[in-house]
Amino acid sequence: MRRRILAWSILLALAAVLGFAALPQPALAQSGHDSAQPVQINADSLEVQQDKKVAIFKGNVDATQGDLRLKSDLLRVYYSEGGQKKAGAGPGGNTSITRLEAEGHVFVSRPEQTGRGERGVYDLEKRTIVLEGNVVLTDRENVVKGTRATMDLNTRQSTVQSGPAGRVQGVFQPKSQ
């Protein structure tokens, strides 16, 4: 039963990390995504380190929930047990997801939107999502590039930054008639 609760917690929290693709923020707010749908995760291996409270999916990680998808080389899911039920809590238990870290060829998508980077972090306690390393965000034909994209779910503010050697780039297409 405890493993089942942990598995549900991991699956429910993955729905949140898939929100990376929702940058810019207004798209997230209007996503209409049904987070009650089942989540399917495929990876070459899964390692659970209960003493560190982390589940690690390795190799060709591919997680989907409805029309949302996350792909990466590695996905770490940090969780806590006990106390009050928090965001990302599994049904019938007090296990909750505290942080998700995706590394290597991170790609998130949903219809008409994608996000790419080398590393992605979703901190459920701080309610922040960060995508780093050669970041490319698309919303239909609109494209934004930088080295770091941050979304604060509390303030609903998103920022894209570039490193010292470059600049943020954006191409925005006017709506067609």
- What integer pLDDT is reported at residue 83 of this predicted model? 52
The predicted pLDDT at position 157 comes to 86
Whichever domain contains 134, its CATH number is 2.60.450.10
pLDDT score recorded for residue 100: 87
Please give the biggest Cα pair distance in the chain: 58
What pLDDT sits at residue 134? 93
In a domain, 71, yes or no: yes
- Does 176 map to a domain? no
**Helices and strands (H and E) in the chain: how many:** 2, 10
* DSSP result, 69-134: EEEEEEEEEEEE-SSS--TTPPTTS--EEEEEEEEEEEEEEETTEEEEEEEEEEETTTTEEEEEEE
Examine residue 177 and state whether it is found in any structural domain, yes or no: no
Residues 6+ apart with CB under 8 A from 165: none
Give the residues of the chain that fall short of pLDDT 70. 1-36, 39, 82-95, 176-177
| pLDDT at residue 28 in the model | 38
Total domains in the fold of the chain: 1
Range of the domain at 137: 2-171
138/120 Cα distance (integer angstroms): 16
Is the CB of residue 21 less than 8 Å from the CB of residue 108?
yes
- pLDDT reported for residue 7: 40
